[in-house]
């Protein structure tokens, strides 16, 4: 592309490595041919915090507060998974009521995470009025989470052996009001997102991930489901209260009659899951058994139990973005001997490569965002064309994306 | 057989029949939660390093597995790698986790890549190389994954021996002070407020110099 060579050589666009909205900043390197992405590479770990290293030097009660802070959106999934692993090693029976409280919080987390993502997706496409609508309605679920746990983000509700706060009858009405709002809104949201001609033009057959690739790249969660892979831990491996609830996987063909594995299908799956989560929460409230919410309320006793435990176990939960996996090995010590955290995005990053190949530069923001709400991405971009070097800010890239929408609308 | 699926015990049998003496230990862990206490099964299989790829091939014959992650553990003499798979996803309450565990002696920390069987594995194999200092043979992409480029060679964060993170690399937040090699802050720094019992709060306009407690 550089002037004077007369040859249309591929050029390299690095994107990243840091962007403020991300818990895992990613460095992208795009090999471009004109406007088309020929190949893509990425390097995660730009701010690796060594959480596992820290955990292997702390006791399980300290770790639950660390796991709360692994992710800014999944405030409960990691703690839930870690606690389940430790409970298996220490042979702690979690009271049934605690299983239900955990499930209700986990589903509220899914609702707020999916709505946050829907807003980001709308913004990347240039529909800021839709961004404002989704983020405004998301507030109600955050308010309910705050009411139930005391916190909006780092919930601090799950403890090894149960939960730290019960849900009392006075809170049922607040939860019910919130569910009613979302159920009333869902058909409107579905129609705003899925019946819109411009969104369909920007998202249909864009960023396609085939079912074969989804399986081979170990993809999880809504990203895998949008490609027609029937995976959902709540259905396949029903932990906690999910075993009583009969949850079924949501696949895009249930709505559109077909599965294409594109960005559009990812919107379908996430929006439908908001409605599904409302149903799950309501069922949990109705069927919640009475009783204690923790197996051991005294922290000193709980630590003593953990200190005697030895063995290895897996804790898995279905986080909003897919399987969240914790491996813990304990050897009758204060701190766990080994700990491995596998967040859901860990499994999904590889799927960017087939999704992005062959797509346009203006589609980068929406495709990158389509696997994960946090990766709204592209803080600054340097474009190197021969000797020239231009810096593209996030705003520039966003403008390109908006212009692409406008061109389609014209 | 149950609805065309092997029971957890049958999965274990399949492995012991196929791989015989290479299977060192097996156990099936059961966990029941909720009111109905429906079981979830976790299958653990310890095997020899040479049997890892045949074992994964046997797993693929049962059901194309989902690889969650490869976890690891430094056990002193050996490094234990745990390949966490799941099979029978897509079946309500039918999924099992299958963990294939391999112990590598510290003198020979090599393991063949499994990315020819499961392409997505390369991501987690790269992580194990940099965090445990193992060598994944024939890995298609052996670059670092999470650790920064300037992270020293030969330091492996999850090792518990002399190659682990040394104390000198650990920055203790509670002990850290304002760095001395930075430009001065735009506004003058306030004295740290350390009130002891009986001490009076300093009035605004005072020099801020710490006085002897009265």
pLDDT-derived band of residue A298, with 50, 70 and 90 as boundaries?
A: very high
The size of the A-B interface in CB pairs under 8 A is: 139
Average pLDDT over every residue of B110-139 = 94
CA–CA separation, A63 vs A79, rounded Å?
A: 8
pLDDT digits (tens, 9 = 90+) for B179-208: 778 787 777 766 666 655 554 444 444 444
Any domain includes B14 = yes
Any domain includes A271 = yes
Pairwise pLDDT comparison (A44 vs B93), residue with the higher score: B93
B67 and A50 within 8 Å at the Cβ level: the answer is: no
The interface residues of chain B toward chain A in range 134-173, judged by CB-CB distance below 8 A, are 143-148, 157-158, 165
Is B17 touching A (CB cutoff 8 A)? no
pLDDT-derived band of residue A16, with 50, 70 and 90 as boundaries?
A: low
pLDDT of B146: 81
Any domain includes B213 = no
Min distance A21 CA to chain B CA atoms (Å):
19
> pLDDT over 70 for what percent of chain A?
89
pLDDT digits (tens, 9 = 90+) for A176-210: 999 999 999 999 999 999 999 999 999 999 999 99
End-to-end Cα spacing for chain A: 29
Residues of A in contact with B123 (CB under 8 A): 218, 346, 349-350
Any domain includes A381 = no
Query: Which of helix, strand or coil describes residue B110?
Result: strand
pTM of the model: 0.86
Q: How far is CA A135 from CA A4, A118, A130, A141, A189, in A?
A: 49, 9, 8, 10, 12
pLDDT digits (tens, 9 = 90+) for A312-357: 999 999 999 999 999 999 999 999 999 999 988 888 888 989 998 8
Q: Are B172 and B189 in contact (CB under 8 A)?
A: no
Is A88 touching B (CB cutoff 8 A)? yes
pLDDT-derived band of residue A390, with 50, 70 and 90 as boundaries?
A: low
A314 and B99 within 8 Å at the Cβ level: the answer is: yes
Is A323 touching B (CB cutoff 8 A)? yes
Which of B44, B74, B146 is facing A44, going by the closest CB pair?
B146
CA–CA separation, A321 vs A345, rounded Å?
A: 7
How many domains does the structure of chain B reveal?
1
Q: Note down the domain range covering A215.
A: 51-346
How many domains does the structure of chain A reveal?
1
For residue B113, what is the enclosing H or E element? Answer: none
Is the pLDDT confidence value at A379 over 70?
A: no
3-class DSSP string for chain A: CCCCCCCCCCEEEEECCCCCCCCCCCEEEEEEECCEEEEEEEECCCCCCCHHHHHCCCCHHHHHHHHCCCCCCCCCHHHHHHHHHHHHHCCCCCCHHHHHHHHHHHHHHHHHHHHHHHHHHHHHHCCHHHHHHHHHHHHHHHHHHHHHHCCCCCCCCEECCEECCCCCHHHHHHHHHHHHHHHHHHHHHHHHHHCCHHHHHHHCCCCCCCHHHHHHCCCCHHHHHHCCCCCCHHHHCCCHHHHHCCCCCCCCHHHHCCCCCCHHHHHHHHHHHHHHHHHHHHHHHHHCCCCCCECCCCHHHHHHHHHHCEEEEEEEEEECCEEEEEEEEEECCCCCCEEEEECHHHHHHHHHHHHHCCCEHHHHHHHHHHCCCCCCCCCEEEEEECCEEEEEEHHHHHHHHHHHHHHHHC
Q: Note down the domain range covering B69.
A: 8-167
pLDDT digits (tens, 9 = 90+) for B60-90: 999 999 999 999 999 999 999 999 999 999 9
Which of B93, B95, B119 is facing A217, going by the closest CB pair?
B119
The interface residues of chain A toward chain B in range 91-150, judged by CB-CB distance below 8 A, are 94, 96, 99
Query: What's the CATH code of the domain at B118?
Result: 3.30.460.80
B120 and A216 within 8 Å at the Cβ level: the answer is: yes
A243 and B66 within 8 Å at the Cβ level: the answer is: no
Any domain includes B161 = yes
Any domain includes B36 = yes
Average pLDDT over every residue of A53-70 = 91
Any domain includes B178 = no
B31 and A239 within 8 Å at the Cβ level: the answer is: yes
Any domain includes B188 = no
pLDDT-derived band of residue A299, with 50, 70 and 90 as boundaries?
A: very high
Is the pLDDT confidence value at A128 over 80?
A: yes
Candidates B27, B63, B68, B174: best to mutate against A (most CBs of A within 10 A) is: B68
Query: What's the CATH code of the domain at A56?
Result: 1.10.645.10
Is A342 touching B (CB cutoff 8 A)? yes
């Amino acid at each position: 592309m550089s002037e004077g060579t007369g040859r249309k050589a591929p050029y390299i666009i690095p994107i990243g490595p840091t962007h403020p909205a991300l818990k895992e900043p990613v460095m992208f390197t795009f090999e471009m041919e004109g406007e088309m992405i020929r190949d893509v590479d990425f390097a995660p770990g730009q701010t690796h915090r060594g959480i596992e290293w820290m955990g292997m030097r702390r006791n399980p009660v300290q770790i639950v507060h660390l796991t709360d802070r692994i992710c800014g959106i999944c405030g409960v999934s990691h703690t839930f998974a870690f606690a389940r692993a430790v409970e298996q090693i220490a042979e702690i029976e979690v009271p049934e009521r605690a299983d239900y409280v955990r499930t209700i919080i986990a589903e509220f987390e899914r609702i707020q995470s999916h709505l946050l993502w829907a807003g980001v997706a709308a913004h990347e496409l240039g529909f800021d009025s839709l961004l404002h609508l989704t983020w405004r309605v998301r507030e109600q679920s955050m308010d309910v989470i705050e009411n139930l746990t005391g916190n909006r983000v780092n919930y601090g509700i799950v403890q090894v052996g149960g939960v730290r706060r019960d849900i009392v009858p006075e809170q049922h009405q607040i939860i019910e009001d919130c569910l009613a709002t979302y159920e009333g809104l869902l058909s409107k949201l579905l129609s705003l997102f899925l019946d819109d001609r411009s969104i369909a033009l920007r998202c249909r057959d864009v960023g396609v991930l085939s079912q074969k690739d989804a399986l081979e790249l170990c993809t999880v969660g809504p990203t895998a489901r949008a490609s027609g892979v029937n995976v959902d831990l709540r259905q396949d491996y029903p932990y906690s209260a999910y075993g009583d609830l009969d949850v079924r996987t949501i696949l895009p063909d249930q709505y559109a009659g077909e599965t294409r594995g594109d960005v559009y299908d990812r919107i379908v799956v996430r929006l439908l899951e908001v409605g599904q989560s409302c149903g799950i929460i309501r069922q949990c409230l109705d069927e919640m058994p009475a009783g204690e919410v923790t197996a051991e309320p005294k922290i000193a006793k709980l630590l003593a139990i953990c200190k005697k435990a030895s063995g290895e176990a897996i804790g898995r939960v279905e986080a909003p973005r897919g399987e969240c996996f914790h491996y813990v090995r304990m050897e009758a010590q204060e701190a766990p001997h080994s700990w491995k955290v596998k967040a859901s995005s860990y499994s999904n990053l590889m799927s960017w490569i087939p999704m992005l190949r062959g797509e346009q530069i203006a589609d980068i923001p929406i495709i990158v965002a389509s696997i994960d709400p946090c990766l709204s991405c592209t803080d600054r971009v340097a474009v190197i064309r021969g000797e020239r070097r231009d810096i593209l800010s996030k705003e520039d890239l966003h403008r390109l994306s908006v212009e692409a929408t406008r061109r389609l609308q014209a | 057989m149950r609805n065309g699926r092997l029971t957890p015990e049958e999965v274990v049998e399949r492995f012991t029949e196929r791989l015989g003496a290479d299977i060192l230990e097996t156990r099936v862990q059961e966990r029941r939660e909720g009111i109905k206490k429906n079981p979830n099964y976790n299958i653990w299989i310890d095997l020899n390093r040479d049997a890892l790829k045949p074992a994964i091939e046997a797993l693929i014959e049962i059901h194309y597995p989902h690889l969650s992650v490869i976890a690891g553990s430094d056990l002193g003499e050996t490094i234990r790698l745990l390949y966490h798979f799941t099979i029978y996803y897509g079946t309500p309450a039918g999924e099992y986790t299958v963990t294939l565990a391999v112990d590598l002696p510290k003198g020979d920390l090599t393991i063949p890549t499994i990315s020819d069987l499961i392409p997505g594995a390369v991501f987690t194999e790269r992580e194990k190389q940099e965090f445990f200092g193992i060598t994944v043979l024939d890995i298609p992409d052996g670059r670092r994954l999470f650790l920064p480029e300037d992270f020293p060679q030969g330091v492996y964060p999850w090792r518990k021996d002399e190659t682990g993170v040394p104390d000198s690399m650990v920055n203790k937040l509670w002990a850290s002070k304002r760095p001395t090699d930075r430009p001065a802050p735009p506004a003058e720094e306030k004295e740290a407020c350390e009130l002891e019992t009986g001490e009076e709060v300093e009035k605004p306009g005072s020099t801020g110099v710490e006085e002897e407690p009265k």
